Structures are given as structure tokens and as C-alpha cells.
Structure 1
Amino acid sequence: MNLALSAAGATVRGVGAVSPRWGAAFAMPLFGSVAKPRPVRPDDEATMWRARHRTVRIAGVDRRGVDVDAYEWGGGARTVLLSHGWNARASQFAPLVRELVAEGYRVVAFDAPAHGSSAGRRTYLVDWLDVFAALQQRYGAFDAMVGHSFGGLATLVGVAGGTDAARVVTIAAPADADLLLSQFQGMLRYSDAVSARMRERFASRYFPGQPDPFAWLSSVRRPLPAEVPLLVIHDEGDRMVPYAEAGRIVAANHGARLLPTIGLGHNRILAADDVLDAVLTHLEVPSAARTSSAPDGARRAAVMPAAAVDELISASVAE
């Protein structure tokens, strides 16, 4: 734990000992705060320079408006939206971008508010959902959505709530928002009484009017539509999002496929060749509701039996 976080935790605990409600009020702004953006890795700079850049405006968590940087590569008819995680940026998907463009996809990604090159200082999952809606308005239905970590949870929540995507991939994603609040409590080490008030503030701040936002923010309690194929990739040694979260997601989403990896951790998994191959294979899995309308030859997996698809995906993941 760094000194600033340690000091913040001490303050929340001290104030919370006097009044859990005040402790939660002090902790709440910290929950939506984002660390200084990471620089683009040298290996990813060329990919980002080749992107067609545009800006989309969303309301933002403060509902005052914020500009979000979006990126587009390729010119295919099939559009894939990539959703990065907390304290991350679109450039982390550069290896996958290159693979998808080579396969003829149009690829779209973005830097969420307070991330990467985008404006803002604070954010939460509602901003990811607003970006999905803004980009969907521009590009129409997505052939697929791929989300990493927090962006994976946002993808699950978005598609369950109506974002139009034919198939979904999550990589190292949590199953619901409860884990995030629990981890935040673990970092600052405040009491359960403060935690209860934090949950109340979280619900009223980010999801006013929702009778139970924690059900709404859960891939377990609110799974994807049955016709949307889901691939869940997670490393067994992930130190940021426990591997058990993958099992929770798969168990709640009928027909979901789990692809475990070993030794790739939370971020390096995004560039692993076996993972990239597995994602590309899953993107060819037909959606039951859309197979009949697919253009001839657009999806070679549409005529493959499920067992054959499973075999292909399993073969692409390192044992």
C-alpha cells in the first residue's frame, strides 16, 4: 500500500469510528478516483498511431459532460468493441487489435474518462455503459465485445442490459460489483459499519432510482441473453481478480466456455498468443439468434458443430 492510500485509509477509519456515515462520505470520492494514466508501451505506439481517432461525449459520473477518446482500426463489415479495465487504457489491446484487423474486422476501442488520453478525474461503470451506447449509435450492433478486468464486468452488465452484441469475451473479469467494494474495503481497512454506509452511498450516487443496483451490476444475478455465446478467459494465478470469479460467471451463463491459463497473470494475458487465438476462434462462434442472417462466408464457424468449436478453442489454450 502506498503512503497516500495508507493515509486515506487511516482517515476513513478514524472518521468512521466517530460516524460510519461520515466515514463513508469521506471514502466515496476515493472509490471513483483514478490513478495517473499509464503511458503507452513502446511496442504499442505504432498501433495507436495507425488508429483513426475521434471523440465522443458522454454525461460522466458527475453528469456535467466529459469527452472520451475513441479509436478505430480496419474497415471490415464486422465490428468488435474492446473495453479496457480500471487504471488501464485502450493501447493495452494493441496485440489483439493487430490480430483482429488482420482477420478483416473493424476494431473500436476507447479510453474511459480519467483513463489514457481522455478527460476527467473520476469515473465509474456507468461511464463505460454510456460509451457503449454512444459507440453503438455510431456503429450499430457489435459483432463482438471483448472486455478486460473492470471492462469485462462492464461488458457483461452492458450486454445483459441491452447493448447489442452478438458474442462476448471477458478476460480476467470480476463477476459483480460486490467484489470491487470488498476489495476497496480491504485496501482501506475500514469497518463493516462504514462498508454498509458505502454500499448505500454507492447505490444512491451512481444508480439513483434502482431498487437493487447490486443485482443489476451482477453477471451472476443478471446473466447474458441465452443466445449470446460467452468465452471467459482467466489466469489461475491472477492476483488482482481471483480466478474463482471466472467460475461464478460461467456457472451463471448457460453455455459459457471457460478457458483457464497458467502463468499469465492479470495483464500479460492480453498479449499471449494462445489467448489471442482463442478469442479469434470464439468470434466465429455463431449466435443462435443471428446465424440465419449472416452473410455467406462471413462466419465459417456457423456450420461447425459445438463440439468442434470447443475442440478448436481448447487446443489454443496452453495447458
Structure 2
Amino acid sequence: MHPATTALVAAVRAADRVSPALAGRLALPLFRRVGPPLPVRPTDRAVHEHAERGTITVRGRSITTYSWGHGPETVLVVHGWRGRASQFGPIVREVRAAGYRVVGFDAPANGDSPGRRTDIRDYLGAIDELQHRHGMFRTVIGHSFGALAALTAVHEDTAAGGVVAIAGMADARFLADSFAARIGVGPATADVLAGRFARRVLPDVPDVYARFDAVRHPLPAGVPLLLVHDRADGEVPVAESRRLHAAHGDRSRLVLTEGAGHSRVLGADATLDAVTAFTLGGLPAFDRLRAESVTTGSA
């Protein structure tokens, strides 16, 4: 952690003991900070370099886009906070081999896109623009914060045959609460932080935490959901996917992995098998895969 960041965290913790209002104000810049861009992993380098790159403008900001393959139907991948599209390298390879075009983007201040900050409006704007260019998505696949963006987009108006949420949170309030816990401050400061963020960053969005809540606002009827989460995820607990699973009932399936963590789950064999089956044939294809796995004694 940078020394300046360490000092600011210490100041927030000290303020938390005497004034949650002050602590929340001091924590806001830390909460909004994206951090240095995530580098492309060596194992994803080939996928990253072979993408067709482009640029779109969303809310006056330049966003780098990627496209792989030329199939008749399109799958969209949506990365998480301080992420990048190349993290979906294993999924891109599998889905492209199955005959689909895959598109993605790096949100502002992430990956190869310029900027210092971003928020969910940039993600939703990029999804909307890519739909305008490519039409209905066969599947929208989101990871972590990108899963919440994907769920929100499809709930609101993005046309998709299905959604895959990998290591995702169920609502936006989780972000403030988990950040507060991570830096060691209490619920009162988390409440202040959440309120200040809503008023400062999203003043034009009424009732921010109600809008970005995929349990309160599940996917439209008829849109299936595949959830993938590692049991030992240290960033987003598996309870978040369980909440989403319960909210969507019979049109949801939950895959739990072991030992893959928050990011490596994107390349886990169980993830790749489930995502490919779901993209090819929806819940029936996934259910057949699961039945075959049980019959053969595999995971």
C-alpha cells in the first residue's frame, strides 16, 4: 500500500472512533480510487493481442473495446473493479471456439482505457453502446462488480438471452459495507460513506441503492441466470451469489468451486464447462452437463 494511502486509512480509523461523519468524508476519496491499471497476465497475453480493438465514447469518456471471432451471435464480457477484459481470456477461447463473437471493454481508469475514476454509469453506458452496435447478446457474462453491472443492465433494458454472474455481489450497498470492513471502520462510518457517495457521485440517480439491487430487482421473466462462485472467495463472499440464486428461483443455477478464489475462478474448469454449456443451450444444456457430471462422478 502506498504510504499516503496508509496514512489516510489510519486517519479514517482514528476518526471512526470519534466522528463517523468525519471518517466517512475522509474515506470517500479512497473508496472512489480505482488504483493502477491491472496488467495483462502472461496467460492472457495472446487473447489480448489478437483482439480487434476499437474505441467508443460514453459520457464524454474514451473506452477501449475488444472483439474476438465473427460468429452470428455475440457474447458480452464485463470485467470488475480494477479489472480488464483480458481477464476473461479462458472464457473467450472457449466461447469463441463454440462459434460466437465475444466483445468486451475496459471501463475508464481500467485496463487500457484512460482516466482516473469510473462508476457504474460508465459500465451501463458501454453495455448500451455495444448493444447498439451488435444487437441482442446471446449471453452477458460479468465478473465481480461487472456482474452487478450486467444484472442491472439486463434488468433495465439490455436484451440478452441469459446472464452469467461470476463472483458477483447482489447489490451496490455491499461495496460500501465491504470497503468499510476492509479498512477497519464500523457500520456508522459505512452509512455515512454510502450516503456521501450517492450524493456526490450519483446525484442524478434517485435512491441509488434501491436501483442497483439485483435481489430487489431480479432479471426479467424468462431470462435465465447462471451463478458461479468460489466457496472461499475472500473479496465477495459466496453468500452474495446465494442471495441472487434465491431471488431468481427456478430460472437460476449455482455452481460452487473450491480453491479458485475471486479471480482465478474465471479460468476454473468448472466455470468454463458451465459457461460454455449455458451459452450454447441455456439451462437445459447446463442441467444435462450437471447430470452427466454426477453420473460420471466428476465435479
After TM superposition, the score normalised by the length of structure 1 is 0.86
- Segment of structure 1 superposing worse, 170-179 or 189-198: 189-198
After alignment, is 103-112 or 22-31 more displaced? 22-31
The residue aligned with 1:205 is 200
CA distance in 1, matches of 2:255, 2:20: 41
Post-superposition CA distance 1:144-171 (Å, at most 9, x none)? 1001111111111111111111111011
Deviation at 1:191, TM superposition (A): 4.1
Alignment-derived partner of residue 188 in structure 1:
183
Matched positions, count = 295
Matches of 1:174 and 1:4, distance apart in 2: 29
Offset at 1:93? 0.7
Q: How far did 1:239 drift?
A: 1.1
Alignment of 1:1-319 (within 5 A): 3-15=3-15, 20-59=20-59, 65-254=60-249, 255-286=251-282, 306=284, 309-313=286-290, 315=292, 319=299
Q: Is the alpha carbon distance of 1:240 and 1:316 closer, same or farther for their aligned partners in structure 2, counting shifts above 3 Å? A: farther
Instruction: Report the secondary structure of 1:234's partner residue.
Output: strand
Task: Give the secondary structure class of the aligned counterpart of 1:278.
Answer: helix
Q: Is the 8 A contact 1:48 1:91 kept in 2?
A: yes
| SS of aligned partner of 2:160 | coil
Unaligned runs of 5+ in 1: 60-64, 287-300
* 1:69–1:314 distance in 2 versus 1, CA, 3 Å: farther
Tell me how far apart the structure 2 counterparts of residues 21 and 156 of structure 1 sit (CA, whole Å): 32
Residues 86 and 149, structure 1, Cα contact 8 Å, conserved in 2? yes
1:203 to partner: Cα distance: 1.8
Range moving further from structure 2, 218-227 or 6-15? 6-15
Unaligned runs of at least 5 residues, structure 2:
none
Q: Deviations over 1:256-295 (max 9, x none)?
A: 0011111211111111223111101111335xxxxxxxxx
Q: CA deviation at 1:126?
A: 1.8
Alpha-carbon distance change, 39 to 252 in structure 1, aligned in 2, over 3 angstroms: same
Partner-residue secondary structure (3-state), 1:241: coil
- Indicate the percent of aligned positions where both proteins have the same amino acid: 46
Q: Distance in 1 between matches of 2:213 and 2:192?
A: 20
Q: Which moved more, 1:34-43 or 1:113-122?
A: 34-43
Matched position secondary structure for 2:151: helix
Q: In the superposition, relative to structure 1, how do residues 133 and 205 fare at CA in structure 2: closer, same or farther (>3 Å)?
A: farther
For residues 199 and 106 of structure 1, do their structure 2 counterparts lie closer, same or farther at Cα, with a shift above 3 Å needed?
Answer: same
Residue by residue, what CA displacement relative to the aligned partner does 1:80-133 show, whole Å, maximum 9, x if unpaired? 000111122111111111111111101001111111111111112221111111
Distance 2:14 2:22 in 1: 10
